[in-house]
Amino acid sequence: MVFISRFLSIPILIILIRPAVSQQSDDKSNSMSQSQVPGSNYICNSQQFPCPAFVVYRAKENQRNLSSIGTLFNTDIPHILSFNNFLGREIIVPVQCSCPDRFSEAIFKYNFSRSDSSHSVACGVYEGLVKVQSLIERNPSFGDHEDFPIQFVPNGSLRDCFSNASAGKQLTWTKRTQIAFDLAVGLHYLHYCIKPAYVHRNLNSRNVLISMDWRAKISGFEFARTLACSPENEEMSSCSVSEIVGKSGYLTLEYLCNQRASPKTDICALGWTLLELLSAREAVMDGSLLKDSIGFLSSRGPNASSGFLEKFNEFMDPAFEGNHPVADARCIAALATACIGDDAQQRLTMNDVIKTLSRIV
């Protein structure tokens, strides 16, 4: 892993090494792979504290002499020579090391220039000793240039999954409830865990990305706005907006009429997304509103609506093929209904949503 300070162009590589008295196994994976083998290409004797650690390095075109290699690893030539008797071969470079707990931690520095990139440093300079993904994650910026890691999501958006019959069948009940919980946690973070708090304003199934392990990642933050705090009621903190953005069918009345966004704006959008997770139907699809087909969910009491279970089963995504707990599905439907009401003050809070979903996931 490499660290690049926002104020200094000096990355620091830190690699955790499994305790051993012999040479560590070599990491043969490509530098572009995301996996990082702890202790690869290192020799470490962790019976000594602090332990001596060494980088095994093969000189590249621009590191042909000991002076350049010493500069690369921030060590002096005599120190390198004391551990190497053969020139032209792999060079063993001693590096600063400590042994916290049962791991060794080797540290060295590299001067990151403007012509460098994450790929060139990981794959070229250090020949795969550190992976590109690890370097990017630990170095969000250098100088005036910002680098942010973006995880590749092979499953696309939630809407993409529903539009693909094969992917839709893979969205089992367990995966969908986990996605629902991920979304709630993500919005809770935006509303409560950062200062200033934010309102997303554009949550919908097309802005929910699904990772390889079927976890939800909220995207589409270009319309997010900071919230002005309300000391009396944190949930009613809001912001005034100059333009209405977001996808039709997910927007609230107070947002459309008064041009004010609040956490309750996102909660309403989450409610529609929860209904979409149950039914695979988008809030607006082929000119029809999902709202027009869920009137039976608002009926009071278990027997208030004639044929409720039949209507509910018709509402559920056929891809489930009946493999879902009906009681939990009805609970999520009721939860979603409580999120999409016209009266913002009557909608649930994000804390309410998380508490309910945590009992189901």
Q: Looking at residue 25, what is its pLDDT?
A: 44
- Nearby residues of 99 by Cβ (< 8 Å), 6 or more positions away: 19, 46, 48, 49, 50, 51, 105
Judge contact between 198 and 205, C-beta under 8 A: no
Q: Which is it for strands 53-57 and 42-44: parallel, antiparallel or unpaired?
A: antiparallel
Hunting for tokens 């002005």 — which residue is that?
Answer: 228
- The total number of residues shown for the chain amounts to 361
User: Which superfamily, per CATH, for 158-358?
Assistant: Transferase(Phosphotransferase) domain 1 (1.10.510.10)
Least Cα distance to 269 among 332, 184, 143 occurs for 184
pLDDT at 287: 62
Q: At 302, phi and psi to the nearest 5? A: -65, -25
Q: For residue 194, what pLDDT is reported?
A: 80
Residue 133 is predicted with a pLDDT of 58
What was the pLDDT predicted at 259?
A: 72
| Domain spans in the chain, listed from the N-terminal domain onward | 2-146, 158-358
- Within a 13 Å sphere around the CA of 155, how many CA atoms are in the beta-carbon half? 26
**pLDDT by 10-residue block (mean), the chain, 361 residues:** 34 40 47 48 44 56 62 66 54 51 47 66 62 57 45 80 90 96 91 85 90 88 76 56 69 73 89 94 75 74 67 92 93 93 87 92 85
Look at phi and psi of residue 201 and say left if phi exceeds 0, alpha if psi is from -120 to 50, else beta: left
